[in-house]
Amino acid sequence: MAGNGRGARIARTLAAEFERAGTLLEVVLTPASGEAARLAAGAVDEGYRTILAVGGDGTANEVANGMIGSRAALALYPIGVGNDLARSLGYPRGRKRPDLARWLATEARTRAIDVGEINGRIFLNAAGVGIDGHVAERVRASARVVGDRWSYMIGSIASIATYRPQPMELLIDGEAQMGRYLTIVASNGRYFGRGMQPAPRASMDDGWLDVTVAGDIGRLGSLGALARLYSGKHENGTTIVTRRARDIAIDLERELPIQIDGEVSHAEHVRIGLRPGALRVLAAPAGMRAT
């Protein structure tokens, strides 16, 4: 269902596209949500060297959860809503997008990246507790009404209007703090939410998570932060701060939505960690960015 069904529609043409680029491809359709991890793990066991995730960040997350620690490399054919992982890894965008098969075959390079882990599940871009979990729920609902292009913006604004900061107890690399927080986001990559930059200095292979902590900044403050989030200029050093960490524990008074690479889960106790260099990916050569 990735890309509103585009994954199923292009399955018939994928093999031919990659064959023209000099690569043999076996196409396997995921029968249900959560099955991509099982299929990817099976492909690893069968000796496949590259596994291509056709979809968005949620699909890439599922596939990666079946590949962690293997020698196989994850490649992306991004047709989802956000495609933030592809952006972070320098995949071609815009007019260059139709040449992706040849780009993967001739220009992409293998790279080892870190992965985050939240309550036992791997994440690639970011995971968060608070309003971004609420936003992830709203995005699904708004996409059915306004379409994918505006769903993140509409979902964010709707959440700002209805969500209030929640009491949380934090432990970040052994340093405790508590209070009411709008959100806690642990970023492995630079982007999430279709181009938002919660951690503009994040690197996927530096051995750290960039943890953004936003306190009770009010609705107007939240709207201003949202506007600046796309340029990565939302930090102010007081109520919105980002620091590097490897181990984060969050205790909540009640179960809240959490987002994991754009997908929604729920938890009352959250533990976030890091696995350095645990996933091999095909990405742009070092120093190149998406255009």
Tens of pLDDT along 158-176?
Answer: 777 778 899 999 999 999 9
End-to-end CA separation in angstroms for the chain = 27
- Note the CATH number of domain 123-276: 2.60.200.40
Each domain of the chain, given as residue ranges in start order, spans: 6-114, 123-276
* Token digits of residue 260: 């994991």
Contacts 24+ apart (CB under 8 A), 199-203: 199/126, 199/232, 199/242, 200/232, 201/242
Predicted confidence (pLDDT) at residue 238 exceeds the cutoff of 80 = yes
The share of the chain scoring above pLDDT 70, in percent, equals 88
Q: How confident is the model at residue 206 (pLDDT cuts 50, 70, 90)?
A: very high
Whether 120 has a pLDDT exceeding 80, the answer reads yes
Does pTM surpass 0.75?
yes
* pLDDT, tens only, 247-256: 999 999 999 9
CA distances for 104 relative to 26, 76, 196, 210, angstroms: 15, 9, 25, 29
Name the CATH superfamily housing domain 6-114: Probable inorganic polyphosphate/atp-NAD kinase; domain 1 (3.40.50.10330)
Q: Is the pLDDT of residue 258 over 90?
A: yes
The answer to whether 180 touches 193, Cβ cutoff 8 Å, is no
The predicted structure's pLDDT at residue 291: 42
Position 1 scores a pLDDT of: 58
pLDDT of 132 higher than 60: yes
Beta strands in 153-285 (DSSP E): 166-172, 175-187, 209-215, 240-245, 248-260, 263-283
